[in-house]
Structure 1
Amino acid sequence: MHDGIVVYPTDTLYGLGGDALSDEAIMKVFEAKGREYHKPISIAVSDPDMIRAVACVDELAEEFIDQFLPGPVTVILPARTILSSWLTAGTKKIGIRYPNHEIALELISRFDSPITATSANLSGGPDPVSLDLCTVPYDCAINAGPLSGIPSTVVDLELREIIRAGAEIDAVAAFLAQWS
């Protein structure tokens, strides 16, 4: 998969995966989606150690990870310098998905590195809940049939705020209320 892009299933939607440590692969993901370069791209990991390798994890983040991941939540954390500024769009923060989907976890684990975790559709297009709705160019795809279609909840733990409501929203809101 090095510098190529793959469509893969997650616990929410189909994702568009490229090597998150390769600027060339990241640029292919931006181009495939028609995504504006000032918008960050999340990454997917296969275990908590991979999270710690790419992001700064404090006590709040540790507790959040223990409670919600793997699962349909994107957690935004301070990025380590190992990650390209193309992924963070200069924010110095990274959105991280640790999906609760056997195929996604196997793909990331075998690749042994984070991959991009943006949806496999053109920017602004319909959510790709099935492979036929994956409207982006890609090198290969893994078809796992229809997916749940509920996007992940995006939470910025540094700001302690929900950026996008999605799956697990009530539980995430209750967790953040405890830390206010």
Structure 2
Amino acid sequence: MSITDAAAAVSRGEAVVYPTETVYGLGADATDPDAVERVFDLKGRPRENPLSLGVPSVDAALDYTRPTEREERFMRRFLPGPVTVVVERRPSIPDVLTAGRDRVGVRVPDHETALALLERAPPLTATSANRSGAPSVTRVADLDDRIREGVAVVVDGGETPGTESTVVDPGEGVVHRHGAMADEIEAWLQAQ
């Protein structure tokens, strides 16, 4: 299926699967609480585990977040890229996405297909397209049947590298999950 089909499905409140530079993502309109709930249901993910926000650029992220000067510097240095940056959210982000927290993980994938979808769709949930607790998906053929049947569109971008994004809170100087580029990120945090 095409990016146009996926963007249309997201606009209708449906979920889609899309490739990134890490693993396949499960996306729905991150500003629509009902669409976000569907992603939690498809993944079988506990509601207290927040989802991230996928946007096409740092500038787009600023419409939905309030990073500090240091956090924005970090975002401009590492995004787009295999990094999830935790910053303060604006009220337009529903509580269900962040499990009621005042911060949200921001993802700007460094992947042509993902960025093309994000340019055409509302901000997406940025979470891996696997059932909660199962391995991340690097090939469409490995999608769980419940996810494959529960989404409107699967965008096949071939095999993805499989290394998870590094999750970092640059304001606190904390790396929550070590993944791609973790050493470079830690060096930046220590130098700033």
On whether the aligned pair clears a TM of 0.5, the verdict is yes
Q: Does 1:105 align with 2:115?
A: yes
| Structure 1 match to 2:16 | 6
Q: Does 1:127 align with 2:140?
A: no
Q: Does 1:117 align with 2:130?
A: no
Calculate the TM-score normalised by the size of structure 2. Answer: 0.90
Q: Does 1:45 align with 2:52?
A: no
Q: Deviations over 1:32-54 (max 9, x none)?
A: 00000111001110012211011
| Structure 2 match to 1:152 | 165
4+ long deviations beyond 4 Å: none
Q: Does 1:71 align with 2:104?
A: no
Calculate the TM-score normalised by the size of structure 1. Answer: 0.96
| Structure 2 match to 1:161 | 174
The answer for unaligned runs of 5 or more in structure 1 is none
Amino acid at match of 1:147: T
SS at structure 1 position matched to 2:168: strand
Displacement of 1:133 in angstroms is 2.0
Displacement of 1:177 in angstroms is 0.5
Find the partner of 2:43 among 33, 56, 60: 33
Q: Does 1:177 align with 2:186?
A: no
Worse-matched range after superposition: 83-92 or 61-70? 61-70
| CA distance, structure 2, for counterparts of residue 174 and residue 63 of structure 1 | 14
The answer for unaligned runs of 5 or more in structure 2 is 1-8
SS at structure 1 position matched to 2:63: helix
Aligned 8 A contact 2:68 2:171 in 1: no
| CA distance, structure 2, for counterparts of residue 94 and residue 66 of structure 1 | 17
Displacement of 1:55 in angstroms is 0.8
Q: Does 1:141 align with 2:151?
A: no
Corresponding residue pairs, total? 178
| CA distance, structure 2, for counterparts of residue 71 and residue 144 of structure 1 | 17
| CA distance, structure 2, for counterparts of residue 17 and residue 151 of structure 1 | 16
| CA distance, structure 2, for counterparts of residue 159 and residue 129 of structure 1 | 31
Amino acid at match of 1:132: A
SS at structure 1 position matched to 2:47: coil
Superposition RMSD in Å = 0.9
Amino acid at match of 1:56: R
Amino acid at match of 1:125: A
| Structure 1 match to 2:91 | 81
